[in-house]
Amino acid sequence: MSVFKKYDIRGLLEEDFVYELGMRFAGKYGSPVVMTDPKKASKRLSRAFAKGVAEAGFNVTYCGVGPTDMCSVAGLVLQKPSVMFTASHLSDGQEGIKFHDSEGLPFSTEMIAELRSLKKPAEAGDGRIVERDFTSEYFNRLLTRYRELFNYDLRGFKVLVDLKNGCGLSHLLLKRLGAGVDVINTKGSDPGNGCLEMLKEKAGDYDLVLIHDFDADRVVVVNGEGIVHGSLIACLLTKVYSGRVVASIDTSQVLFDYAPVTSSKVGDPFVARAIIQHDACLGVEPSGHYTDPLFAPTSSGSLFAIILAGLAYKNNINELVSGLPPVVIESASLNVDDKASFMERVKQRVSGIISDVDGVKFDFNGGTALVRPSGTEPIIRFHLENPGNGGVEELVRRFR
């Protein structure tokens, strides 16, 4: 199976492959910013890529370990493409590479596909790898955006942050804003094991409990009942962001009652481009990806950690969530070899279509169904919001 996926590279990656990829990338895009998560394999591969770029005769700005959105911002500020090495969400032994253009936008599906066919340039060998710490500039940009949205700091506010042993930096930003912060899973190696039950138990001792993923481009909120659905967090964010919201198609219909919403395909690159196309002020995915285009055209766990803290500072987060309609979504999947034919059959057999931007979303048994193909596996995914009689199993049976 190819390691070139819909909008990134993922799989079992060898140093020789990554070295040559660096040469090919440089021949097309020139001198990049390169960053990595703290995993040893990610660091090793990022160095191999940087060496390949240099051997092709181009310079590399190597910014070390940091979140994915920091890599995007560094490229945006320096007007260079940026390349992030991260194993976030991947199985043991697998590695990943994310790409952004010089405007900070995640590479599109077409740009990833083009990487496969790039020609290897002649080795020139005189490129340099320049080490640069971009943390201070990144923090300044984050704190500036926070202060554009809030006119107060976070003194007396208590936050618990789970870094999942990754490269999240929000705890440092929260401290700079005056919050009292406790942090767990900080060793910076491999993705940490889940400790949701412990976080639920401790939620009552803090004003806000947050979890980042390994590369810290996502953030989720935890209360005494568990993880707060990302669609509800999106509803809360409309208290801060006034205007059109781009939401991935798997976002709850609840959000449509709080803001004008444009649906997009699932995935950061699709949300990012839809934000530009529709002049939106906010992009959301219920998985914890949130994008503020006035900060960067990609999702930022760091920014939205401090924004959620700013929002919760004067509004109890549990009271805010309890004031929203509940989100109940059941999910299932089905192995399907011919996904295109299956989806065509679904579209022909349903009525009350809400959107077909990514799969098809439609009215079903008094609820809202979403049927969409996986971008990387021979799987069809089924989601049913506010399920009626039979639940998601009935939805699967209807089209099996």
Q: What is the pLDDT of residue 376?
A: 72
Other C-beta atoms closer than 10 Å to the C-beta of 50 total 27
Q: What is the pLDDT of residue 93?
A: 78
Least confident interval from 25-29, 178-182, 296-300, 373-377: 373-377
Q: What is the pLDDT of residue 350?
A: 92
Rounded Cα distance between 67 and 260, Å, is: 30
Summarize pLDDT for 355-399 with one digit per residue, the tens.
999 999 999 988 999 999 987 788 999 999 988 767 999 999 999
Domains of the chain (ranges; CATH) run: 9-133 (3.40.120.10), 136-322 (3.40.120.10), 329-399 (3.30.310.50)
Summarize pLDDT for 250-264 with one digit per residue, the tens.
999 999 999 999 999
Q: What is the pLDDT of residue 126?
A: 87
Interior/surface letters 151-171, b for 16+ CB within 10 angstroms, e for the rest: eeebeebebbbbbbbbbbbbb
Summarize pLDDT for 29-85 with one digit per residue, the tens.
999 999 999 999 999 999 999 999 999 999 999 999 999 999 999 999 999 999 999
Q: What is the pLDDT of residue 195?
A: 83
* % pLDDT > 90, the chain: 86
What is the band of 1 on the pLDDT scale with cuts at 50, 70, 90? low
What is the band of 189 on the pLDDT scale with cuts at 50, 70, 90? low
